[in-house]
Amino acid sequence: MFSKKVVVSTLLAALIGVSGAVNAQIKLVKTTDGSEITFPEKAFAGTDAEKEFLATGKNIYVGDAEAVKMGKKRYNLWSCTQCHGPTAKGQVGPGLTGPKYNYAKDQTNKGMFETIWAGTNGGMGGKGFGIMAADDGVTVDELLKIIAFVRSNGKITGNE
């Protein structure tokens, strides 16, 4: 438990640049303009899932029942339900289970993360921590769980 925390905080420390912002090892880019996404330190909880995502773009919460359950709660809390429907099949906003997407990259968890974190030009604002307000928003770990819930309603895992 303790050592896991140390490993993750060491990893985050290694990723924090002079500006105090965290950069992923993989390049994460905004769906709006393709510019790189950097994260405030507060966007992280220090989990293994974050570490894996920043290194590889894979979401280890997909298929994990406990994480999916938490993701469903967050999906409701952040009002995704109102626009995308209770099982992400679409309502005012588009369905999120694929395989067709407005943004083809949403077939991958990396792409879907980028779309939700920083928003789109076609009608959805970014939900990521620090995007809407300096001290509010979905954290990286929460968003990975939300995506795991979205994937649980469809056939693709996003980790293909």
Residues near ligand HEC, by CB under 6 A = 78-80, 82-84, 92-94, 96, 101-103, 106, 112, 115-116, 120, 122-124, 127, 138, 146
Residue 77: strand, helix, or coil:
helix
Tell me how far apart the alpha carbons of residues 117 and 135 are, in angstroms, rounded to a whole number: 14
The least CB distance from residue 4 to ligand HEC, in Å, is 27
C-beta of 63 vs 123, nearer to ligand HEC: 123
Residue 62 carries which side chain, given as an amino acid letter?
V
The token duo for 54 is 């920043």
Distances in Å between the alpha carbon of 52 and those of 60, 73, 91, 93?
A: 8, 23, 32, 30
The least CB distance from residue 107 to ligand HEC, in Å, is 9
The least CB distance from residue 147 to ligand HEC, in Å, is 7
Distances in Å between the alpha carbon of 124 and those of 25, 40, 74?
A: 26, 21, 17
Q: Which residue is nearest to ligand HEC (CB)?
A: 122
Rg (CA), the chain: 15
The least CB distance from residue 12 to ligand HEC, in Å, is 23
Distances in Å between the alpha carbon of 158 and those of 37, 86, 104?
A: 20, 20, 12
C-beta of 60 vs 144, nearer to ligand HEC: 144
C-beta of 5 vs 100, nearer to ligand HEC: 100
Tell me how far apart the alpha carbons of residues 94 and 90 are, in angstroms, rounded to a whole number: 5
The least CB distance from residue 16 to ligand HEC, in Å, is 26
Q: Which residue has the tokens 């429907």?
A: 85
C-beta of 10 vs 79, nearer to ligand HEC: 79
